[in-house]
Amino acid sequence: MTIKNIQKEKLAVDRCMKHLEVVNVEPKIRQLVSMYMTSIYREAYEEGFSDAEQVKVHSSSK
């Protein structure tokens, strides 16, 4: 992941954590949500990166 993507990930997770704090979600639940969101964000990034690489390979072979 690039620095820019890590910053976007942190921003997204931080925003969610602020919302969970506003609605008084317990700290342990917020921690679980944070870990889950980070995992989902990274999986989506890797999947998108992989898809982009496949598109490059297919378009360069034409």
pLDDT values of the chain reduced to their tens digit, one per residue, 62 residues = 678 878 888 888 999 999 999 999 999 999 999 999 999 988 888 887 666 666 666 666 65
Which among 34, 41, 40 is positioned nearest to 9, based on CA atoms?
41
pTM value? 0.66
